[in-house]
């Protein structure tokens, strides 16, 4: 009977989720009236000009001009035809090629609107393109992600989804606090503690395993921040190129330290939960294991994941610099200089994160085995 | 002293102390991977097809990260195979979503910075954005694959009579714990990288509509979601391939074994299992 109830609850939950997903997809597909900006759906595309260009550094490129005709989807002029001009290059570094079916944000040309009002036979309204409407794709991706994470992760997948959303909201609030003038590093430190406790409880449940993971994560993260801080102080930040953050109106140093703190948190958390989870899983499949055998197994797992975990951060960070690096290289800068200028912040983030990962291994191993042995003795069970 | 050098030295020492020989190898593999990316970028800058370069680089990177550090072991082979399979599946998906959303190149927010340079460099940035997304997730999927197969291997070593289905389930159990935190790792890594940009948007009071349709926000979210999808996809793939490799091999004990068993497994194998072995069955390795 109880099983049947659970089953019913599950079905209800999944139906609700499916409805939510379908509804949000339908919504973004038809949300034109919620935007104040005019949205135009492109119906035909014509290339009117094609021109070969060569820049100062002998890079060859092709410049296209296209004329798009489209229909207005919202506002007072709904249904009217619009003609738009767009220029784009083959490389497309800062411009876009548009295709039939694309939905664009457009600011309409006032004079052409007036002409249209007075004379219905006038030619199409003209305007300038402000950008592509991307929300449909974004929601589609989010729905896909939701479906997959629940299909594979089941209940835990759902929980990690919640923790992700919670983290996003919390993070947004933190930024507001900072803009109100509170010290960023202080706010971030508090948030790191909340993040850790909340995420790990949500993912791992309220139990001993989570408890050990929380303790080792916090130890690892703050130890890493301290190391990074000392290194930056001792070296007087030599080799840190803040140019990448030059658009900021806030001091980049403070923000960068906060970025390091937040950036390594996820990785440290990951190592800690992996090690404590594996050790508890080992205990479950074979309860008679000694603490020495557990330590050995844990150390083995730690060594295995160390290399690849550091790679996660390394690639996640370094790949972001590739587009700018290419611009530098193609603009005649020396290779070494280009790499140094574009990857210095990314490399520092990756290195501090990696230090956090390596530190987290012994920290979580000792904490987990220590807490577990203590618990075993106290309960008098050889679980 | 340069910050990067000091941090690298600290990392090297820590890895050496904590990981011993394997730690040193891990550090070296980081250097090798950096070199691979370096060569890949130089090749792309010389107008070699960026997608071909990326795929070759990814195969090399996963080979180095897995086999160089962990040695030739069934668990490594399983991780390698599942990484490649996942990459193939993801590639098509990223290609479609990357070209549809047109998140390539730079956004209006970055115009001030790039206005000094020539942007007509003849390299297709739609392909570059696909390469970038794949490069940013390759580390995460390799990591998930080896975490799962390594833990599954430990479970198997401590419990050699486990059935294929149980091992697969055990793999999924471990993976579910990893799943949430790996997506967190990626999420925090990206947040760490984009904190400045988020502040900037807040400073300028972007409306929600502007934010979710802007190139810079979309490209960030799509990178995170693609990486997370990779991490999710690789879980059942690795659990399946690994339980197949570990246990099919056990059944083949008396047959022609194309690779040597680690001593620990041999010691712990119950003898009745070897009696059941089917020498006609061919191992996939």
Closest chain B CA to residue A63: B120
Q: Are residues A103 and A214 in the same domain?
A: no
Tokens linked to B173? 């159990």
Interface test with A, best of B3, B30, B36, B156 (most A CBs within 10 A): B3
Within-domain flag for A170: no
Within-domain flag for A16: yes
Q: Using the Cα atoms of residue A184, residue A190, residue A193 and residue A194 in order, give the sign of their dihedral.
A: negative
Within-domain flag for A177: no
Q: Are residues A57 and A190 in the same domain?
A: no
- What is the C-alpha separation between B173 and A79, in angstroms, rounded? 54
Answer for the pair A59, B71: CB distance below 8 angstroms, yes or no: no
pLDDT at B118: 86
Determine, for residues A309 and B143 on separate chains, whether the beta-carbon distance falls below 8 Å: yes
Q: Are residues A69 and A206 in the same domain?
A: no
- B1 contacts in chain A (CB < 8 Å): 234-235, 238
Q: Are residues A254 and A339 in the same domain?
A: yes
Q: Are residues A81 and A196 in the same domain?
A: no
Closest chain B CA to residue A296: B154
Q: B residues 218-277 near A, CB within 8 Å?
A: 218, 221-222, 225-229, 232-233, 235-236
Within-domain flag for A23: yes
Q: Are residues A102 and A238 in the same domain?
A: no
pTM: 0.85
In this structure, chain A runs to a length of: 383
- What is the C-alpha separation between B178 and B94, in angstroms, rounded? 23
**Residue A338, domain CATH:** 1.20.1640
Closest chain A CA to residue B21: A303
Q: Is B32 on the interface with A (CB under 8 A)?
A: no
pLDDT at A247: 61
Option in B19, B182, B227 nearest A303 (CB)? B19
Determine, for residues B184 and A89 on separate chains, whether the beta-carbon distance falls below 8 Å: no
- Tokens 């949430």, residue located: B180
Determine, for residues A248 and B29 on separate chains, whether the beta-carbon distance falls below 8 Å: no
- What is the C-alpha separation between A234 and A236, in angstroms, rounded? 6
Please count the other Cβ atoms lying within 10 Å of the Cβ belonging to residue B20. Answer: 12
Determine, for residues B192 and A132 on separate chains, whether the beta-carbon distance falls below 8 Å: no
Q: Are residues A319 and A373 in the same domain?
A: yes
Q: Are residues A87 and A233 in the same domain?
A: no
Q: In terms of residue numbers, what domain contains A17? A: 1-31
- Tokens 């190592």, residue located: A271
- A310 contacts in chain B (CB < 8 Å): 11, 26, 30
Closest chain A CA to residue B209: A35
Write down the ipTM of this complex.
0.85
Within-domain flag for A273: yes
Please count the other Cβ atoms lying within 10 Å of the Cβ belonging to residue A377. Answer: 10
Within-domain flag for A1: yes
Within-domain flag for A66: yes
Count: domains in chain A: 3
Determine, for residues A171 and B135 on separate chains, whether the beta-carbon distance falls below 8 Å: no
Q: Are residues A14 and A83 in the same domain?
A: no
Answer for the pair A368, A298: CB distance below 8 angstroms, yes or no: yes
Please count the other Cβ atoms lying within 10 Å of the Cβ belonging to residue A10. Answer: 12
**Residue A61, domain CATH:** 2.40.50
Q: Are residues A224 and A370 in the same domain?
A: yes
- What is the C-alpha separation between A163 and B188, in angstroms, rounded? 12
Confidence of residue B97 (pLDDT cuts 50, 70, 90): very high
Query: Over its length of 383 residues, how does chain A's per-residue pLDDT go in tens digits?
Result: 566 777 888 888 888 888 988 999 998 888 888 888 899 999 999 999 999 988 888 888 999 999 999 999 988 888 888 999 999 999 888 888 999 999 999 998 877 777 776 666 566 788 899 989 999 999 999 999 999 988 888 887 888 788 778 877 888 888 888 888 888 888 889 889 998 898 888 777 788 888 999 999 999 999 999 999 999 999 888 878 877 666 666 788 888 898 899 889 988 988 898 888 888 878 887 778 888 888 888 888 888 778 888 888 899 889 888 988 999 999 989 999 999 888 988 899 999 999 999 999 999 999 988 888 787 766 654 44
- What is the C-alpha separation between B217 and A138, in angstroms, rounded? 10
């Amino acid at each position: 009977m109880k099983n049947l109830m659970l089953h019913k609850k599950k079905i209800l939950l999944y139906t609700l989720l499916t409805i939510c997903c379908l509804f949000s997809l339908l919504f973004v597909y038809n949300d034109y009236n919620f935007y104040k900006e005019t949205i135009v759906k492109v119906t035909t595309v014509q290339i009117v000009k094609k021109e070969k260009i060569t820049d100062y550094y002998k890079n060859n490129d092709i410049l296209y001009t296209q004329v798009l005709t489209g229909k207005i989807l919202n506002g007072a002029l709904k249904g009217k035809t619009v003609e738009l001009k767009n220029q784009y290059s083959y490389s497309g570094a800062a411009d876009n090629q548009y295709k039939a079916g694309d939905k664009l944000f457009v600011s309409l040309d006032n004079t052409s609107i007036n002409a249209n009002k007075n004379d219905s036979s006038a030619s199409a309204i003209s305007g300038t393109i402000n950008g592509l409407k991307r929300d449909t794709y974004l929601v589609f991706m989010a729905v896909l992600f939701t479906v997959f994470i629940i299909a594979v992760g089941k209940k835990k997948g759902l929980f990690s989804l919640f923790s992700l959303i919670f983290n996003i909201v919390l993070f947004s609030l933190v930024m507001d606090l900072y803009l109100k003038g509170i010290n960023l590093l202080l706010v971030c430190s508090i948030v790191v503690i909340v993040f850790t406790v909340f995420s790990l409880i949500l993912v791992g449940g309220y139990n001993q395993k989570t408890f050990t993971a929380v303790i080792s994560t916090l130890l690892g993260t703050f130890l890493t921040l301290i190391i990074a801080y000392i290194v930056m102080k001792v070296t007087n930040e030599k080799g840190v190129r803040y140019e990448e953050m030059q658009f900021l109106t806030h001091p980049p140093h403070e923000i960068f330290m906060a970025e390091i703190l937040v950036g390594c948190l996820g990785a440290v958390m990951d190592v800690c939960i992996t090690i404590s989870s594996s050790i508890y899983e080992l205990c479950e499949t074979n309860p008679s294991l000694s603490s020495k055998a557990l330590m050995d197994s844990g150390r083995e797992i730690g060594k295995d994941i160390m290399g690849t975990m550091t790679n996660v951060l390394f690639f996640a960070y370094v790949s972001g610099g590739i587009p700018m690096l290419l611009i530098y290289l193609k603009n005649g800068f020396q290779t070494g200089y280009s790499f140094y200028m574009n990857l210095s912040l990314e490399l520092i983030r990756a290195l501090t994160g990696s230090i956090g990962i390596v530190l987290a291994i012994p920290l979580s191993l000792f904490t987990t085995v220590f807490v577990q042995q203590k618990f075993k003795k106290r309960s008098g069970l050889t679980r | 002293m340069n910050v990067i050098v000091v941090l690298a030295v600290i990392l090297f020492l820590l890895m050496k102390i904590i990981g011993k020989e394997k730690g040193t190898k891990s550090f070296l593999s980081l250097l090798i991977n950096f070199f691979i990316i370096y060569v890949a970028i130089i090749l792309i800058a010389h107008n070699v097809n960026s997608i071909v370069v990326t795929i070759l680089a990814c195969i090399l990177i996963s080979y180095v990260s897995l086999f160089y550090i962990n040695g030739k072991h069934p668990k490594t082979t399983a991780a390698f195979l599942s990484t490649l399979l996942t990459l193939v599946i993801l590639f098509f998906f990223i290609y479609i979503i990357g070209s549809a959303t047109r998140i390539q190149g730079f956004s209006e927010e970055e115009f001030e910075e790039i206005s000094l340079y020539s942007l007509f460099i003849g390299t297709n940035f739609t392909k570059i954005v696909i390469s970038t997304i794949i490069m940013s997730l390759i580390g995460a999927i390799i990591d998930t694959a080896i975490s799962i197969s390594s833990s599954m291997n430990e479970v198997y070593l401590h419990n050699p009579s486990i059935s294929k289905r149980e091992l697969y389930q055990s793999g999924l159990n471990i993976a579910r714990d990893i799943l949430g935190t790996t997506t967190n790792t990626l999420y925090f890594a990206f947040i760490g990288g984009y904190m400045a940009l988020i502040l900037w948007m807040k400073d300028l009071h972007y409306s929600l509509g502007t934010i979710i349709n802007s190139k810079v926000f979309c490209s960030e979210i799509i990178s995170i979601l693609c990486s997370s999808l990779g991490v999710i996809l690789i879980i059942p793939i690795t659990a399946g391939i690994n339980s197949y490799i570990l246990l099919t091999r056990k059944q083949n004990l008396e047959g022609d074994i194309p690779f040597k068993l680690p001593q620990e497994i041999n010691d712990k194998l119950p003898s009745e299992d070897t009696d059941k072995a089917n020498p006609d069955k061919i191992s996939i390795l």
